[in-house]
Chains A and B, each alone.
Chain A
Amino acid sequence: MSRLGVFVCHCGENIGRTVDCAAVAAAAARFPGVVHSVDYKYMCSDPGQSMIKKAIADLKLTGVVVAACSPRMHERTFRSAAAQAGLNPYLLEMANVREHCSWVHADRAAATAKAVELVRLMVEKTRRDRALRPVRVPVEPTAMVVGGGIAGIQAALDIAAGGKKVVLVESGPSIGGHMARLSETFPTLDCSQCILTPRMVEAASHPNIRLMTYAEVAAVEGFVGNFEVTVRRKARFVDPDKCTGCGDCWNRCPQKRIPSEFDAGLGARRAIYVPFPQAVPNKPVIDAERCTMLKQGKCGLCAKVCPRGAVDFKDRDRLEKVKVGAVVLATGFELWDHASYGEYGGGRLADVIDGFAFERLASASGPTGGAIKRPSDGAEPKTVVFIQCCGSRDEKKGLPYCSKICCMYTAKHAMLYRHKVHDGEATVFYMDIRATGKGYEEFVRRAIDNDGARYVRGRVSRVYRRQDGRLVVKGADTLAGRPVTVLADMVVLADAVRPRRGSERLAQLFGVGYDQHGFYSEAHPKLRPVETAAAGVFLAGACQAPKDIPDAVAQASAAAAKTLGLFSQPQLEREPVIARVNRNLCSHCRSCVHTCPYGAVKDFEVKDRAGSVLKVVAEVNEGLCQGCGTCVAVCRSHCIDLDGFTDEQIHAQIAALEAA
């Protein structure tokens, strides 16, 4: 038998002005199950809360309805008051008579009548409330960071500094990511490698960080606090424990002309290689696609010269399972392939290069030793045209969004070019200049005013190569209102930033949302920018949206903070709005299994004592269930119900409206 208390709040004048609170309390007193009904000026105040607590204790209430503001405002307040008085907090409900009634209706009679009905709805619900316990799940205090670029490294270092273990998974042979490829960074022109490589070394040597390079996530099971991630460790063909990184092998490898991915194809690497001299770990892998020993069984020179016998051609991919409590996705970006831009040569003109290629040309560790030389003939280009927004902000042919970093790195490129080629001319075609970071606008001004970069506002319609080898760049100067033609020796395209290939697959493994371009979706664009819809999976860096280094690092530290917050308690506590299956009724149609957006419903084998399977039913994993109730609505046998929003409660509410 219910013993409910109803407490009607005036909210000063806010409710009381339009709703006759005393009348509401009087009407509520006559509702079935209600043993106590009062109104008060400020329910949320100390005396108001005490009134509720006292009533719970004195009258042994089994449930409470507070008719006041929106539950989004004070549900937590009143529930904790109820808990202090010894009532299970989930036996307290709120009727929203302020936002949904007194504030939106002027007619006192109608508003009062509505308030009575709103209270009645919640009384009927509360009568059928069950005491619920917050769901508690244990937490494995180890994090996995996927992606070893600057965002991943930063997240790993921060989590490790917080005293928790980290597994850093990187698909390439070395951590470092794109930042390791940059020459200097805007807006300070810091040498990128000088600031990055110490971080790489720190990550590798940190006692709390375990590096898993040349590895990819293959499968994910479990849920927040208890993920089990299967990592595919790709065959390196070199035993990292034996290898000292001496370099004898790669110096002798006869495959000398493999275009280096790190150098954007401008330099060459061997079949056994480290991607760049400062690689971490500085131990080579063998490119199975290019190694003649692995493909045809001929050569084996590297194995012969290795003083430690570290080369093992029989190495195979291995799967390793890792238990982690939280995951930070930091898979980064790649550049749009301008091959689809026929007007810019469609990728066929050697001297039309992308931003990374220019970074490698300008980098002291690059294939030209930092000298700007054009790829076709190695000549120093005397005129360079930079074209911004290649693929960005182009709904017809490219991507609709702004890639954010190109305005800045193009200004940097123009500046670096002018620093290295003093008599060179740098022309930048732009649509708008978006320089919104700290010191960014000043940086662009410097490129224009101090370094003489010529900025032309307008699009380039065509780039083609004249027979003499020079590039003809035809465009529009939309400020002057006339067409312009520039004869250039080299063209640098600011290709759009897009998520790494395969980002969707990884998102699906972790149950993370992504947009139509493949960028991962944050849980809320403003207020939860590092969380995802999947509990315990956080985002860092350009996998979420185009980002520059400071933004990526900031988000990585935020993701680390979220991870450490999650790890700060041995158990997780969650709202107990969770679906439950009545095994006796379940006919195992699996509609719920297919419907659940979280993969929280799984098959469960009901066994007898001998261990033989009696039947298979659905089972909801409490850790994964988020309480949306979609499974309840699709269940044909009505065997699933949702705690806090049971069918019985909702039907009682509907019936209460009928009776009103």
Chain B
Amino acid sequence: MSQAGAPRITAFVCNWCTYAGADLAGTSRLQYAPEVRIVKLPCTGRISPLFILKAFEGGADAVLVSGCHPGDCHYTSGNYHARRRWGLLRKLLDLTGIDSRRLQFSWISAAEGQKFADLINDLTAKVREAGPFAGANPARKRLAPAPEEAQGPRRES
């Protein structure tokens, strides 16, 4: 899977539900596409929109944000705060020309290993279809290597 152009997915997940859900996918030996990188946070409420924008700027082709189901937040209401924030962020992405399909929000509980695996597979397929994220942001062009280089070997294989 490490050929050029393999999509890069950054996942911001909460410690209590989705991280544990991903653990369950592991203990259940569910196979899914290997392009996802998980950044663990205590709660989706901790996630600043800046993290997501930075991830895109840094070359992520898609970003996944996932936490506890509404009503199940370990911290009572962090996921509600997050949900409200994402509503706005989506609009911002539309404005900046970033295809909002590249940003996936989801609720995955500690019991939903299968859902996690399915979601990663779906998202990977979706991003493959959409192609690599060229970066609507000129700032990225400054910071990131030229597109040809970025297409180069991303994985040490």
What residues make up the interface of A, taking CB atoms closer than 8 Å to B? 27, 70, 72, 96, 98-101, 103-107, 109-114, 116-118, 121, 513, 533, 577, 595, 597-598, 626-630, 632-634, 642, 644-645, 647, 650-651, 653-655, 657-658, 660
Q: How large is the interface on B (under 10, 10 to 19, 20 to 34, 35 or more residues)?
A: 35 or more
How far, in angstroms, from A443 to B81 measured CA to CA in the complex? 50
B37 touches A657 (CB 8 A): yes
B42 touches A629 (CB 8 A): yes
Which 6 A-B residue pairings sit nearest by Cβ, starting from the closest?
A99-B26, A629-B46, A658-B58, A630-B45, A628-B75, A113-B155
A99 touches B81 (CB 8 A): no
- Residues of A within 8 Å of B58, CB to CB, are 654-655, 657-658
B45 touches A110 (CB 8 A): no
Minimum CB–CB distance from A507 to chain B (whole Å) comes to: 11
A597 touches B75 (CB 8 A): yes
B42 touches A642 (CB 8 A): yes
A27 touches B156 (CB 8 A): yes
A104 touches B23 (CB 8 A): no
How far, in angstroms, from A114 to B157 measured CA to CA in the complex? 10
Minimum CB–CB distance from A597 to chain B (whole Å) comes to: 4
How far, in angstroms, from A105 to B57 measured CA to CA in the complex? 27
B95 contacts A by Cβ under 8 Å = no
- Residues of A within 8 Å of B34, CB to CB, are 101, 104-105, 107, 110-111, 113-114
| Interfacial residues of chain B within 143-157, with CB under 8 A of chain A in the complex | 144, 154-157
A629 touches B30 (CB 8 A): no
The contact string, 1 if C-beta is below 8 Å from chain A, for chain B 3-17, is 000001010000000
A660 touches B154 (CB 8 A): yes
Minimum CB–CB distance from A579 to chain B (whole Å) comes to: 10
B117 touches A118 (CB 8 A): no
Known: A27-B156, A645-B46, A651-B54. A114 touches B39 (CB 8 A): no
- Residues of A within 8 Å of B8, CB to CB, are 657
A104 touches B156 (CB 8 A): no
- Residues of A within 8 Å of B81, CB to CB, are 595, 630, 633-634
- Residues of B within 8 Å of A113, CB to CB, are 2, 34, 155-157
B47 contacts A by Cβ under 8 Å = yes
How far, in angstroms, from A658 to B8 measured CA to CA in the complex? 10
How far, in angstroms, from A259 to B116 measured CA to CA in the complex? 59
Known: A72-B20, A110-B1, A658-B144. A650 touches B157 (CB 8 A): no
- Residues of B within 8 Å of A655, CB to CB, are 54, 58
Known: A628-B45, A645-B41. A110 touches B29 (CB 8 A): no
- Residues of B within 8 Å of A110, CB to CB, are 1-2, 34, 155, 157
- Residues of A within 8 Å of B141, CB to CB, are none
Known: A654-B54, A654-B58. A103 touches B10 (CB 8 A): no
Instruction: Determine the residue in chain B with the shortest Cβ distance to A523.
Output: B74
B77 contacts A by Cβ under 8 Å = yes
A633 touches B37 (CB 8 A): no
- Residues of A within 8 Å of B25, CB to CB, are 99, 104
A647 touches B157 (CB 8 A): no
- Residues of B within 8 Å of A27, CB to CB, are 156
A100 touches B38 (CB 8 A): yes
How far, in angstroms, from A212 to B55 measured CA to CA in the complex? 57
B60 contacts A by Cβ under 8 Å = yes
How far, in angstroms, from A533 to B68 measured CA to CA in the complex? 15
What residues make up the interface of B, taking CB atoms closer than 8 Å to A? 1-2, 8, 10, 19-20, 22-23, 25-27, 29-32, 34, 37-39, 41-43, 45-48, 51, 54-55, 57-60, 74-78, 81-82, 85, 117, 144, 154-157
Additional A-B contact list (9), CB under 8 Å, known A104-B26, A104-B34, A651-B51:
A96-B38, A99-B27, A113-B155, A513-B76, A597-B76, A630-B46, A633-B46, A633-B85, A645-B42
B76 touches A650 (CB 8 A): no
Total A-B pairs, Cβ < 8 A: 136
B46 touches A642 (CB 8 A): yes
Question: Which of A100, A101, A109, A513 contacts B157 (CB under 8 A)?
Answer: A109
Minimum CB–CB distance from A73 to chain B (whole Å) comes to: 8
Known: A653-B39, A655-B58. A104 touches B29 (CB 8 A): yes
How far, in angstroms, from A110 to B144 measured CA to CA in the complex? 23
Q: List 16 A-B contacts (CB under 8 A).
A: A99-B23, A104-B25, A110-B34, A114-B37, A117-B37, A597-B78, A626-B75, A628-B42, A632-B46, A633-B81, A633-B85, A647-B48, A655-B54, A657-B58, A658-B59, A658-B144
B31 touches A104 (CB 8 A): yes
Most central of A598, A642, A650 by chain B CB within 10 Å = A650
- Residues of B within 8 Å of A107, CB to CB, are 1, 34
- Residues of B within 8 Å of A116, CB to CB, are 156
Minimum CB–CB distance from B141 to chain A (whole Å) comes to: 14
How far, in angstroms, from A72 to B22 measured CA to CA in the complex? 12
How far, in angstroms, from A451 to B30 measured CA to CA in the complex? 57
Minimum CB–CB distance from A112 to chain B (whole Å) comes to: 8
A118 touches B54 (CB 8 A): no
How far, in angstroms, from A628 to B20 measured CA to CA in the complex? 16
- Residues of A within 8 Å of B156, CB to CB, are 27, 113, 116
Question: Which of A100, A598, A654, A657 contacts B22 (CB under 8 A)?
Answer: A100
A597 touches B59 (CB 8 A): no
Most central of B8, B20, B42 by chain A CB within 10 Å = B42
Known: A629-B42, A629-B43, A650-B39. A103 touches B76 (CB 8 A): no
Minimum CB–CB distance from B86 to chain A (whole Å) comes to: 12
- Residues of B within 8 Å of A626, CB to CB, are 75
Minimum CB–CB distance from B115 to chain A (whole Å) comes to: 14
Instruction: Determine the residue in chain B with the shortest Cβ distance to A72.
Output: B23
How far, in angstroms, from A457 to B23 measured CA to CA in the complex? 47
Minimum CB–CB distance from B109 to chain A (whole Å) comes to: 12
How far, in angstroms, from A659 to B7 measured CA to CA in the complex? 15
B46 touches A104 (CB 8 A): no
A633 touches B47 (CB 8 A): yes
Instruction: Determine the residue in chain A with the shortest Cβ distance to B11.
Output: A100
B76 touches A657 (CB 8 A): no
How far, in angstroms, from A657 to B57 measured CA to CA in the complex? 11
- Residues of A within 8 Å of B74, CB to CB, are 628
Instruction: Determine the residue in chain A with the shortest Cβ distance to B156.
Output: A113
How far, in angstroms, from A27 to B32 measured CA to CA in the complex? 24
- Residues of A within 8 Å of B2, CB to CB, are 109-110, 113
How far, in angstroms, from A657 to B19 measured CA to CA in the complex? 18
Instruction: Determine the residue in chain A with the shortest Cβ distance to B153.
Output: A113
Known: A110-B155, A658-B59. A633 touches B10 (CB 8 A): no
How far, in angstroms, from A658 to B139 measured CA to CA in the complex? 14
Instruction: Determine the residue in chain B with the shortest Cβ distance to A99.
Output: B26
A70 touches B51 (CB 8 A): no
- Residues of B within 8 Å of A644, CB to CB, are 42
